[in-house]
Each structure stands twice: as structure tokens, then as C-alpha cells.
Amino acid sequence: MGNRICNCQHQAYNDDKETEVEPRVILFKFDIIQKLREVKSLEELKLTASDFIAFHKGRFLDYYEIGQILGEGAYGQVYECTNKQTKAKRAVKAMLKTGFYNEEERERFQTEVSLLKHMDHPNILKLYEVFQDDARYYVVTEICQGGELFDEIIKRKFFSEKDAADIMTQSLKAIIYCHSNDICHRDLKPENILIESKGSVKVIDFGTAMTFNPQVGMNTMIGTPYYMAPEILKSQRYDEKCDVWSLGVILYCLLTAWLVLADRSVSQEAQDLISKMLILDPNERISAKDAIQHDWFHKESNTKSVDLNHTRESLRNLATFSLVTNEEIQSTREIFQELDTNNDGKLSRDELIVGYKKIYGEFAEEQVDKILRLADIDGSGEIDYSEWLIATINRKNLVSEDKIKHAFSFFDKDGSGSISVEELKEVLGVKNRLVDDIVWNQLIQEVDTDGNGEIDYDEFKYMMNKLIDGEIQRRFTKARSPSPDIRAPSV
């Protein structure tokens, strides 16, 4: 077992003898099937970044080069990999289809993929695409240069309260995002929290997670015993606050090093927070949203205040839909999280106005309305994390020839050199009758200059340039807002 606390205690537990089977169908508030069911016109077709996560049948090695092994789990190995076209570094988990213990394990894997597909938060591991061949599944995610929080606990023995607060702040933000979308993780532990080299936290392993009805709750005994909430151990019905208990145990580990009382001083504020997270009665236990507002975080948080000059430049350039280079993604993420004052993983109009008042004063509302028309691609009235990143990528990088070719091949499934209506439907994973055919035809006609009913490469390239310039968004958003285009004041 080496330095591990107790390997058997840290394995996820699942009681198959539940008295009431939980639904296996994943129901998302923002599921694409629900969004497209009543679409009757092009203006109603609202898509998010999750709708473009690809599921491929074919050889993974046709698209990626395999690098060094990064880790090994119960179902397979994790490797570094490089996209052959874009040269982007990713991580891939390769799993044998015969490696699952039973059909329930296979369903759990499918649940995790389905959940990750719809996750869009800077502190949750990002899923890019999934491949399968006759023997294996290949799950491609962002690559994290760091390691598990568990290993960091073993190495450091204990954390300062400032470092612990920084880790817990980011973990809570991820869980608040999950809970706001009625998703419960159910197996939070140090092994399922990654710490990147620059201190960013990523919550991983949603294999035991599920969507739930807040009025009904959950009843499956599932999780890892050391971190499992008492209501789960007692086989009682439980809600999302089981995640808060698990994070409370993790916070205790960070400040005391072991799951036994350690002889070291912990501040009264930290003790108060831990005690509220570890209340036996879940009805009295603090919520994740309230926990992050605790005085301890205001006193000890190690999160740096984002440089105002950089924030000013970032927000100003966002109005023109071009911002920073890839090397500044970390700063961009910090700005997003600083503006996201309610920690729901999205930027509302009010949150943006607060940020913009630092720059434009009385003109802030006009600037924010313009940005929402440009960056709010799915028309939700808010800017989610993917929309934020798209809006802040340097325009020249985004519309480079290589990236446009890669994007075109993503849609051109048969390699014919043009994109058909059927290929659009296949990429978006929708069935023929969910959207009127007239909508798909209108989508093609927007850029089909030669009128042949398909989009060739030159037409696609023209469309991408117009899209980034904001011209297409402005045409569609007129249907959402009758107000005229508000021009930004010169700066």
C-alpha cells in the first residue's frame, strides 16, 4: 500500500442491493434534445459548446499520436496524446470494452461521458471527444500538468490555511456549478481532485455522479467510505449536501494531514467551517453556496486579486471579440472567476456590468449589452465559460488556415469536400424529426453561395470569418432583441 492511507478504504463503494432503482436516463436542463424539440425557425436554433463534442467510430490513431503514459486506473490507462492536425496536447483514457466488471459498470462509464459532455466550468475536467473501435473506448480530455491532491497531501503532510482555502474555494466553485444544474458528484475525495502546476484545481471522475430531482433526492449507497456522508452510510435518502460532507472531510485532511486528530493549531474560523460542513443532519448542514461565503475564505483565501490593468485590457478587447493569446488563458480564467461573483459558472448581465463599471463607468450597461449580443452564442442571456474563452482567443489564431481546415473536416464526415444537411445532423447528434427540415436548409443557405445545397470549404471559411467578426450573430440576435446595435465609445 506504500504511503497511501488505506487503499481499500479509498475505493468507491456501490451497494447493488438498493431497494429503489435510480433512473439511469440522464436528464439535463440544457440537453440538446430538449433544446431542439420545438425548433421551427433558424433564429430558434441555439447551440452550446457541448453540442460539438464529437463521438467517433473508427481508429483513434488516425487522429492522434500516443505519448507517455500518465496514469493507470481500474479500467485502463491514461496517456498523453497529440492531435495530428492541430498539434494540441490532450489526455486520453483508453479502456477495453471487456474490462468492465458488469453492465452496471459500463452504464456508469456512459453516465460519466454524458455528464462531462455538458460540463462547462474552469474547475471541471473538460471533455473534447470520444472514440470507439471494436475493442476499446478512447476518452479525450484536457491534459492537466500536475497530480492528484491525494499525492500532494502525502508529500506535504499538511497545508497552510491559505493554500487549503485556495484549493477548497476552487473545489466548491465546481460543486456549486454541479448543484445548480441538479448534478451530485457523490464520490469527492483527494484522488478525484487534480492540482495543476500553477495551482488550478480540476474535479474529475463523474462515474458515480447523477442528475437528481431536488424534491426526491437519491438513495443508492455509493462513494468512498472515508468520505461518505453519514446519511448514505445509514441507507437514508439523501441530497446534494453529501458532497459538502465529503469536501469537509477533505478540508480536515488538508489542515491535519491524516484522518485522525493531529496536534497542530487550526484557526477558529477553519474549525467553524469544518464543523458546519460535517453536521450529521443534512438539513442543518451548510450548503456549498453558503460555505464559500464563510468568513474563513475572506481571511485566508490565497486567490490573488486579478491585476486591474490586465482586467481592464481584457474587458475592453472582449467588446471587439479578440483578446489574449493562448499563453494568457490562465489570466483569462482568473478574470472569468473574479467576475462570476455568485459562483454559478456563468456571467450574467449584472455581473458583467459590475466589472465594466471599473472601466466605462456610466457607459457600462451599453458595453455589456453589446458583448452579450456578440459573445452569447446560445442566446441564454449569460456568457458561459466556453463562450468566454471563444470571445477571448486572439482572432488571428482562431481563424488560422489550419484551424479552419480542422473545423471543416470535423463536419465533413464522409470526406467529400462539402458539408451536407445530414452531416450537420450527425455532428450535432440529433434525429431527423427533432428540427424542421426547413431550419437545416436555412442554415445551409446562409453561406451556400453557389446554391448546390451543401457548404464547400471556401464557403465554410467565409462563414467562419463572418462568424468571428460578429456579423452572423448580429443578424440572428435581432430576433432576440429589438434594440438597435449599440456602438462602443472610442477608447
pLDDT tens-place string over residues 45-98: 555 555 555 677 778 998 899 999 988 766 788 999 998 877 888 999 999 888
Question: Could you please report the per-residue DSSP string of 423-475?
Answer: HHHHHHT--GGGB-HHHHHHHHHTT-TT-SSSEEHHHHHHHHHHHHHTHHHHH
Residue limits of CATH 1.10.238.10 in the chain: 308-396, 399-477
* CATH number of 308-396, picked from 3.90.245.10, 1.10.238.10, 3.90.550.10, 1.10.260.40: 1.10.238.10
Residue limits of CATH 1.10.510.10 in the chain: 146-300
Alpha carbon distances (Å) from 72 to 75, 78, 94: 8, 6, 10
Do residues 98 and 147 lie in contact, with contact meaning Cβ atoms separated by under 8 Å? no
Residue 47's nearest CA partner among 441, 424, 484, 370 is: 424
Rounded CA-CA distance 167/302 in Å is 9
Q: Which residues pair with 146 in a beta bridge?
A: 196
Do residues 257 and 190 lie in contact, with contact meaning Cβ atoms separated by under 8 Å? no
CATH 1.10.510.10 fits 146-300, yes or no: yes
Q: 23: Cβ–Cβ under 8 A, 6 or more apart, which residues?
A: none
Which helix (H) or strand (E) segment holds residue 368: the answer is: helix 364-375
Cα end-to-end distance, the chain, whole Å: 61
The architecture of the domain spanning 399-477 is: Orthogonal Bundle (1.10)
Residue 309 — φ and ψ, nearest 5°?
A: -65, -40
Degrees to nearest 5, angle at CA 306 with 305 and 310 = 155
Alpha carbon distances (Å) from 103 to 16, 64, 98, 110, 187: 12, 29, 10, 11, 20
Has 478 been labeled as part of a binding site?
Answer: no
DSSP 182: T
pLDDT in tens, the chain (491 residues): 333 333 344 556 665 444 333 333 333 333 433 444 455 655 555 555 555 556 777 789 988 999 999 887 667 889 999 988 778 889 999 998 888 888 888 888 888 888 888 889 999 999 988 998 888 999 999 988 888 999 888 888 778 899 999 999 999 999 999 999 999 999 999 999 999 877 889 999 898 999 999 999 999 999 999 999 999 999 999 999 999 999 999 999 998 865 444 556 889 999 999 999 999 999 999 999 999 999 999 886 644 444 444 445 544 444 443 333 445 566 778 888 888 989 888 999 999 888 878 777 788 888 888 878 877 877 788 988 888 877 766 555 555 677 677 778 777 777 788 888 777 776 665 544 456 667 667 777 777 788 888 888 888 877 777 655 554 344 434 433 433 332 333 32
CA Rg, the chain, in Å? Answer: 23
Burial code (b: 16+ CB inside 10 Å, e: under 16) for 270-301 equals: beebbebbbbeebeebbbbbebbebebbeebb
Question: Could you please report the per-residue DSSP string of 138-166?
Answer: EEEE---SEEEHHHHHHHHSS--HHHHHH
Q: Which is the catalytic residue, given 166, 187, 205, 340?
A: 187
Output the 3-class SS for 285-299: CCCHHHHCCCHHHHH
Please confirm, yes or no, whether 187 is among the known catalytic residues: yes
User: Which grid cell is 237?
Assistant: 435518502
